[in-house]
Protein backbone atom coordinates (compact mmCIF):
# COMPACT_ATOMS: atom_id res chain seq x y z
CA UNK A 1 0.00 0.00 0.00
CA UNK A 2 2.91 2.36 0.68
CA UNK A 3 4.11 1.80 -2.88
CA UNK A 4 0.61 2.55 -4.14
CA UNK A 5 0.54 5.82 -2.24
CA UNK A 6 3.96 6.79 -3.53
CA UNK A 7 2.68 6.27 -7.07
CA UNK A 8 -0.13 8.78 -6.56
CA UNK A 9 2.33 11.50 -5.59
CA UNK A 10 1.30 14.63 -7.46
CA UNK A 11 2.10 18.27 -7.59
CA UNK A 12 3.00 18.63 -3.93
CA UNK A 13 5.54 15.81 -3.55
CA UNK A 14 8.68 17.91 -3.85
CA UNK A 15 7.23 21.25 -2.81
CA UNK A 16 8.60 23.17 0.12
CA UNK A 17 6.88 22.63 3.47
CA UNK A 18 5.26 26.06 3.33
CA UNK A 19 4.33 26.11 -0.36
CA UNK A 20 0.77 27.32 -0.85
CA UNK A 21 -1.23 26.00 -3.81
CA UNK A 22 -4.17 28.19 -4.83
CA UNK A 23 -7.36 26.83 -6.38
CA UNK A 24 -9.41 29.81 -7.48
CA UNK A 25 -13.15 29.21 -7.63
CA UNK A 26 -14.30 32.69 -8.68
CA UNK A 27 -15.69 31.30 -11.94
CA UNK A 28 -17.54 28.45 -10.20
CA UNK A 29 -18.49 29.11 -6.57
CA UNK A 30 -18.06 32.85 -7.12
CA UNK A 31 -20.55 32.87 -9.96
CA UNK A 32 -22.98 30.91 -7.77
CA UNK A 33 -23.47 34.10 -5.74
CA UNK A 34 -27.08 35.18 -5.99
CA UNK A 35 -27.49 37.62 -8.87
CA UNK A 36 -24.02 37.09 -10.36
CA UNK A 37 -23.73 35.85 -13.94
CA UNK A 38 -20.56 36.39 -15.96
CA UNK A 39 -20.75 36.61 -19.72
CA UNK A 40 -18.60 34.37 -21.92
CA UNK A 41 -16.22 37.26 -22.56
CA UNK A 42 -16.06 38.17 -18.88
CA UNK A 43 -15.26 34.60 -17.87
CA UNK A 44 -12.45 34.44 -20.40
CA UNK A 45 -11.06 37.78 -19.27
CA UNK A 46 -11.15 36.71 -15.62
CA UNK A 47 -9.50 33.38 -16.48
CA UNK A 48 -6.64 35.13 -18.28
CA UNK A 49 -6.21 37.59 -15.40
CA UNK A 50 -6.19 34.76 -12.86
CA UNK A 51 -3.57 33.00 -14.92
CA UNK A 52 -1.48 36.16 -15.05
CA UNK A 53 -1.93 36.55 -11.31
CA UNK A 54 -0.25 33.17 -10.83
CA UNK A 55 -3.19 31.01 -9.71
CA UNK A 56 -2.20 27.33 -9.78
CA UNK A 57 -5.61 25.86 -10.60
CA UNK A 58 -8.69 27.59 -12.01
CA UNK A 59 -12.00 25.95 -11.11
CA UNK A 60 -13.62 27.00 -14.35
CA UNK A 61 -17.25 26.02 -13.99
CA UNK A 62 -19.84 23.25 -14.16
CA UNK A 63 -20.04 21.69 -17.65
CA UNK A 64 -23.37 19.95 -17.06
CA UNK A 65 -25.01 23.40 -16.83
CA UNK A 66 -25.14 23.43 -20.62
CA UNK A 67 -23.47 24.17 -23.92
CA UNK A 68 -22.53 27.76 -23.12
CA UNK A 69 -20.63 26.64 -20.02
CA UNK A 70 -18.98 23.84 -21.98
CA UNK A 71 -17.97 26.25 -24.72
CA UNK A 72 -16.24 28.73 -22.42
CA UNK A 73 -14.39 25.94 -20.59
CA UNK A 74 -13.27 24.53 -23.95
CA UNK A 75 -11.99 28.00 -24.88
CA UNK A 76 -10.06 28.26 -21.61
CA UNK A 77 -8.47 24.90 -22.30
CA UNK A 78 -7.46 26.15 -25.76
CA UNK A 79 -5.98 29.41 -24.47
CA UNK A 80 -2.58 27.98 -23.48
CA UNK A 81 -2.91 29.13 -19.89
CA UNK A 82 -0.29 28.07 -17.37
CA UNK A 83 -2.90 27.23 -14.72
CA UNK A 84 -4.62 23.84 -14.70
CA UNK A 85 -8.29 24.10 -15.71
CA UNK A 86 -10.56 22.17 -13.39
CA UNK A 87 -14.23 21.32 -13.90
CA UNK A 88 -16.67 20.84 -11.02
CA UNK A 89 -19.02 17.86 -11.08
CA UNK A 90 -21.65 16.20 -8.99
CA UNK A 91 -21.26 12.52 -8.20
CA UNK A 92 -23.01 11.29 -11.35
CA UNK A 93 -21.93 9.98 -14.73
CA UNK A 94 -24.01 12.62 -16.56
CA UNK A 95 -21.75 15.32 -15.13
CA UNK A 96 -18.58 13.46 -16.11
CA UNK A 97 -19.90 13.06 -19.65
CA UNK A 98 -20.38 16.83 -19.83
CA UNK A 99 -16.80 17.37 -18.65
CA UNK A 100 -15.53 15.06 -21.39
CA UNK A 101 -17.31 17.17 -24.01
CA UNK A 102 -15.13 20.15 -23.03
CA UNK A 103 -11.90 18.24 -23.51
CA UNK A 104 -10.91 18.81 -19.89
CA UNK A 105 -8.51 16.34 -18.30
CA UNK A 106 -8.94 17.52 -14.68
CA UNK A 107 -12.28 16.91 -12.98
CA UNK A 108 -13.38 17.60 -9.44
CA UNK A 109 -16.17 15.36 -8.11
CA UNK A 110 -18.18 16.56 -5.13
CA UNK A 111 -19.51 13.85 -2.80
CA UNK A 112 -22.09 14.78 -0.12
CA UNK A 113 -20.86 13.08 3.06
CA UNK A 114 -22.98 14.31 5.96
CA UNK A 115 -25.88 12.09 6.95
CA UNK A 116 -28.31 14.98 6.63
CA UNK A 117 -27.34 15.50 2.98
CA UNK A 118 -27.17 11.79 2.21
CA UNK A 119 -30.66 11.20 3.62
CA UNK A 120 -32.45 14.45 2.86
CA UNK A 121 -30.77 15.72 -0.31
CA UNK A 122 -29.74 12.55 -2.14
CA UNK A 123 -32.45 10.49 -0.39
CA UNK A 124 -30.18 7.48 -0.23
CA UNK A 125 -28.03 5.53 2.23
CA UNK A 126 -24.30 5.44 2.91
CA UNK A 127 -24.07 1.99 1.28
CA UNK A 128 -25.90 3.09 -1.87
CA UNK A 129 -23.82 6.28 -2.03
CA UNK A 130 -20.57 4.29 -1.98
CA UNK A 131 -21.85 2.07 -4.79
CA UNK A 132 -22.67 5.11 -6.95
CA UNK A 133 -19.41 6.77 -5.95
CA UNK A 134 -17.33 3.82 -7.15
CA UNK A 135 -19.25 3.63 -10.44
CA UNK A 136 -18.52 7.31 -11.13
CA UNK A 137 -14.85 6.86 -10.23
CA UNK A 138 -14.68 3.81 -12.53
CA UNK A 139 -16.21 5.81 -15.35
CA UNK A 140 -13.87 8.77 -14.86
CA UNK A 141 -10.83 6.51 -14.68
CA UNK A 142 -11.88 4.65 -17.82
CA UNK A 143 -11.72 8.00 -19.65
CA UNK A 144 -8.30 8.89 -18.24
CA UNK A 145 -9.52 11.86 -16.23
CA UNK A 146 -7.33 13.16 -13.43
CA UNK A 147 -9.84 13.33 -10.61
CA UNK A 148 -9.93 15.18 -7.31
CA UNK A 149 -12.55 14.32 -4.71
CA UNK A 150 -14.37 16.84 -2.56
CA UNK A 151 -16.29 15.88 0.56
CA UNK A 152 -19.27 18.24 0.61
CA UNK A 153 -20.40 19.22 4.12
CA UNK A 154 -17.37 17.40 5.53
CA UNK A 155 -17.51 19.40 8.76
CA UNK A 156 -20.88 17.80 9.64
CA UNK A 157 -19.91 14.28 8.56
CA UNK A 158 -19.16 11.21 10.64
CA UNK A 159 -15.35 11.04 10.83
CA UNK A 160 -15.03 7.31 10.14
CA UNK A 161 -17.30 7.55 7.08
CA UNK A 162 -15.33 10.56 5.86
CA UNK A 163 -12.09 8.56 6.12
CA UNK A 164 -13.71 5.74 4.13
CA UNK A 165 -14.72 8.16 1.35
CA UNK A 166 -11.21 9.58 1.07
CA UNK A 167 -9.58 6.13 1.32
CA UNK A 168 -11.65 4.89 -1.61
CA UNK A 169 -10.51 7.90 -3.64
CA UNK A 170 -6.85 7.21 -2.81
CA UNK A 171 -7.26 3.56 -3.81
CA UNK A 172 -8.41 4.83 -7.23
CA UNK A 173 -5.24 6.90 -7.60
CA UNK A 174 -6.70 10.27 -6.58
CA UNK A 175 -3.93 12.76 -5.75
CA UNK A 176 -5.95 15.54 -4.19
CA UNK A 177 -8.84 15.53 -1.73
CA UNK A 178 -10.96 18.45 -0.61
CA UNK A 179 -12.34 19.09 2.86
CA UNK A 180 -15.33 21.36 2.30
CA UNK A 181 -16.71 23.35 5.23
CA UNK A 182 -19.78 23.95 3.10
CA UNK A 183 -21.91 25.65 5.74
CA UNK A 184 -19.15 27.51 7.56
CA UNK A 185 -19.46 25.31 10.66
CA UNK A 186 -15.82 25.48 11.75
CA UNK A 187 -13.71 28.00 13.61
CA UNK A 188 -9.91 28.31 13.17
CA UNK A 189 -9.22 25.92 16.05
CA UNK A 190 -11.63 23.20 14.92
CA UNK A 191 -10.42 23.64 11.32
CA UNK A 192 -6.90 22.89 12.51
CA UNK A 193 -8.09 19.91 14.54
CA UNK A 194 -10.21 18.44 11.73
CA UNK A 195 -7.38 18.54 9.18
CA UNK A 196 -4.96 17.10 11.72
CA UNK A 197 -7.42 14.32 12.58
CA UNK A 198 -8.00 13.66 8.88
CA UNK A 199 -4.29 13.27 8.20
CA UNK A 200 -3.80 11.00 11.19
CA UNK A 201 -6.89 8.95 10.35
CA UNK A 202 -5.84 8.33 6.76
CA UNK A 203 -2.27 7.53 7.79
CA UNK A 204 -3.59 4.99 10.29
CA UNK A 205 -5.96 3.54 7.68
CA UNK A 206 -3.06 2.86 5.31
CA UNK A 207 -0.61 2.01 8.09
CA UNK A 208 1.88 4.71 7.12
CA UNK A 209 3.22 7.83 8.81
CA UNK A 210 1.38 11.17 8.53
CA UNK A 211 4.61 12.58 7.08
CA UNK A 212 4.57 10.15 4.16
CA UNK A 213 0.87 10.76 3.61
CA UNK A 214 1.42 14.53 3.42
CA UNK A 215 4.13 13.97 0.81
CA UNK A 216 1.91 11.84 -1.38
CA UNK A 217 -1.51 13.43 -1.05
CA UNK A 218 -2.66 17.02 -1.49
CA UNK A 219 -5.27 18.20 1.03
CA UNK A 220 -7.42 21.09 -0.16
CA UNK A 221 -9.45 23.18 2.30
CA UNK A 222 -12.59 24.87 0.95
CA UNK A 223 -14.17 27.26 3.42
CA UNK A 224 -17.00 29.77 3.54
CA UNK A 225 -17.34 33.09 5.31
CA UNK A 226 -20.75 33.06 7.01
CA UNK A 227 -19.25 34.09 10.36
CA UNK A 228 -16.43 36.17 8.89
CA UNK A 229 -13.95 33.32 9.50
CA UNK A 230 -13.16 32.30 5.93
CA UNK A 231 -9.55 33.46 6.06
CA UNK A 232 -8.97 32.43 9.67
CA UNK A 233 -10.30 28.92 9.05
CA UNK A 234 -8.13 28.50 5.96
CA UNK A 235 -5.14 29.67 8.00
CA UNK A 236 -5.90 27.05 10.66
CA UNK A 237 -6.31 24.33 8.04
CA UNK A 238 -3.04 25.29 6.36
CA UNK A 239 -1.14 25.14 9.65
CA UNK A 240 -2.50 21.61 10.13
CA UNK A 241 -1.28 20.46 6.72
CA UNK A 242 -3.81 21.56 4.09
CA UNK A 243 -1.33 23.00 1.61
CA UNK A 244 -4.02 23.70 -0.98
CA UNK A 245 -6.59 26.43 -0.36
CA UNK A 246 -9.76 26.93 -2.41
CA UNK A 247 -10.63 30.60 -2.50
CA UNK A 248 -12.09 33.33 -4.68
CA UNK A 249 -11.24 36.89 -5.62
CA UNK A 250 -12.85 39.31 -3.13
CA UNK A 251 -14.33 36.28 -1.37
CA UNK A 252 -17.11 36.13 -3.98
CA UNK A 253 -19.26 33.04 -3.42
CA UNK A 254 -22.39 31.40 -2.04
CA UNK A 255 -24.18 33.28 0.76
CA UNK A 256 -21.51 35.30 2.62
CA UNK A 257 -18.84 34.09 0.22
CA UNK A 258 -15.64 32.06 0.25
CA UNK A 259 -12.17 32.49 1.66
CA UNK A 260 -10.89 35.62 -0.13
CA UNK A 261 -7.85 34.88 -2.28
CA UNK A 262 -6.19 38.19 -1.52
CA UNK A 263 -6.57 37.74 2.24
CA UNK A 264 -5.28 34.17 2.56
CA UNK A 265 -2.34 34.82 0.22
CA UNK A 266 -1.22 37.90 2.13
CA UNK A 267 -1.90 36.39 5.56
CA UNK A 268 0.05 33.20 4.90
CA UNK A 269 2.88 35.11 3.25
CA UNK A 270 3.28 37.42 6.25
CA UNK A 271 2.36 35.10 9.13
CA UNK A 272 3.70 31.76 7.96
CA UNK A 273 6.36 32.76 5.42
CA UNK A 274 4.49 30.77 2.78
CA UNK A 275 5.82 30.56 -0.75
CA UNK A 276 3.24 31.18 -3.47
CA UNK A 277 3.16 31.74 -7.20
CA UNK A 278 0.83 34.75 -6.81
CA UNK A 279 2.10 38.07 -8.20
CA UNK A 280 0.91 40.35 -5.40
CA UNK A 281 1.23 43.52 -7.44
CA UNK A 282 -1.53 42.21 -9.71
CA UNK A 283 -4.03 41.52 -6.91
CA UNK A 284 -5.64 44.96 -7.08
CA UNK A 285 -6.19 44.78 -10.84
CA UNK A 286 -7.91 41.41 -10.60
CA UNK A 287 -9.95 42.49 -7.57
CA UNK A 288 -11.27 45.57 -9.37
CA UNK A 289 -12.11 43.50 -12.45
CA UNK A 290 -14.15 40.97 -10.45
CA UNK A 291 -15.82 43.78 -8.53
CA UNK A 292 -16.90 45.35 -11.83
CA UNK A 293 -18.07 42.15 -13.54
CA UNK A 294 -19.88 40.77 -10.48
CA UNK A 295 -21.60 44.03 -9.59
CA UNK A 296 -20.64 43.44 -5.95
CA UNK A 297 -19.22 46.73 -4.64
CA UNK A 298 -16.49 46.25 -2.05
CA UNK A 299 -16.49 47.95 1.33
CA UNK A 300 -13.85 50.69 1.60
CA UNK A 301 -12.47 48.82 4.62
CA UNK A 302 -12.31 45.42 2.86
CA UNK A 303 -8.98 43.90 3.96
CA UNK A 304 -6.15 44.12 1.43
CA UNK A 305 -8.17 45.57 -1.48
CA UNK A 306 -10.52 48.14 0.08
CA UNK A 307 -10.05 51.72 -1.08
CA UNK A 308 -9.35 53.05 2.43
CA UNK A 309 -7.30 50.30 4.09
CA UNK A 310 -4.05 52.27 3.76
CA UNK A 311 -5.58 55.66 4.56
CA UNK A 312 -4.90 57.47 7.84
CA UNK A 313 -6.60 60.39 9.59
CA UNK A 314 -5.71 60.06 13.28
CA UNK A 315 -2.93 62.52 14.13
CA UNK A 316 -1.13 59.99 16.33
CA UNK A 317 -0.86 57.55 13.42
CA UNK A 318 0.06 60.23 10.90
CA UNK A 319 2.80 61.49 13.20
CA UNK A 320 4.14 57.96 13.63
CA UNK A 321 4.10 57.26 9.89
CA UNK A 322 5.89 60.50 9.07
CA UNK A 323 8.61 59.72 11.59
CA UNK A 324 9.05 56.12 10.45
CA UNK A 325 6.50 54.14 8.46
CA UNK A 326 7.35 51.02 10.43
CA UNK A 327 5.57 52.58 13.42
CA UNK A 328 2.20 51.81 11.86
CA UNK A 329 3.03 49.44 9.01
CA UNK A 330 3.15 45.64 9.13
CA UNK A 331 1.54 45.00 5.76
CA UNK A 332 3.45 47.25 3.38
CA UNK A 333 1.08 48.65 0.71
CA UNK A 334 3.99 48.75 -1.73
CA UNK A 335 3.81 44.94 -1.97
CA UNK A 336 0.44 45.47 -3.65
CA UNK A 337 1.58 48.45 -5.69
CA UNK A 338 -0.28 50.73 -3.31
CA UNK A 339 0.76 53.49 -0.89
CA UNK A 340 -0.29 55.20 2.32
CA UNK A 341 -2.66 58.19 2.14
CA UNK A 342 -3.17 60.92 4.72
CA UNK A 343 -6.78 62.12 5.04
CA UNK A 344 -7.62 65.56 6.41
CA UNK A 345 -10.33 65.36 9.05
CA UNK A 346 -11.52 65.77 12.62
CA UNK A 347 -8.78 63.59 14.08
CA UNK A 348 -5.85 65.06 12.14
CA UNK A 349 -4.72 67.24 15.03
CA UNK A 350 -1.72 69.55 14.52
CA UNK A 351 -1.20 68.08 11.05
CA UNK A 352 -4.26 69.93 9.77
CA UNK A 353 -1.89 72.67 8.65
CA UNK A 354 0.17 70.30 6.51
CA UNK A 355 -0.46 70.77 2.80
CATH code for the domain defined by 311-353? 4.10.430
For residues 119 and 131, is the Cβ–Cβ distance under 8 A? no
Out of 81-85, 121-125, 163-167, 210-214, pick the least confident.
210-214
* CATH 4.10.430 residue spans of the chain: 311-353
pLDDT tens digits, 258-311:
999 999 999 999 999 999 999 999 999 999 999 999 999 999 999 999 999 987
CA angle 72, 291, 297 (to 5 degrees): 145
* CATH 3.20.20.70 residue spans of the chain: 18-294
Q: Which CATH superfamily is domain 18-294 in?
A: Aldolase class I (3.20.20.70)
End-to-end CA distance of the chain: 71
Which residues neighbour 148 within 8 Å (Cβ) at sequence distance 6 or greater?
86, 106, 107, 108, 109, 174, 175, 176, 177, 178, 220
Which residues neighbour 27 within 8 Å (Cβ) at sequence distance 6 or greater?
38, 43, 46, 47, 58, 59, 60, 61
Which residue, among 33, 85, 92, 36, has the nearest Cα to 61 in the 3D structure? 85
Phi/psi at 84 (5° precision): -70, 140
pLDDT tens digits, 76-88:
999 999 999 999 9
Q: How many CB atoms lie within 10 A of CB 294?
A: 23
Question: Which pTM does this prediction carry?
Answer: 0.92
Amino acid sequence: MIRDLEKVAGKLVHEEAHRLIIIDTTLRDGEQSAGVAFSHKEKMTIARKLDGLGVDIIEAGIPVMGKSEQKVIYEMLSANLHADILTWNRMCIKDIEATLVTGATHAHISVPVSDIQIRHKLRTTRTELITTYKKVLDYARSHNLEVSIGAEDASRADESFLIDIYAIAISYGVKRIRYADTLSVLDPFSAYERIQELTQGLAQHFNITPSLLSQTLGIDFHGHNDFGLGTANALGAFKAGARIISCSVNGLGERAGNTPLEEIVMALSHMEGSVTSIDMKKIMEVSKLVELYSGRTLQASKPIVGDMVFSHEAGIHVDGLIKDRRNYTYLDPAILGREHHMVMGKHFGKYKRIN
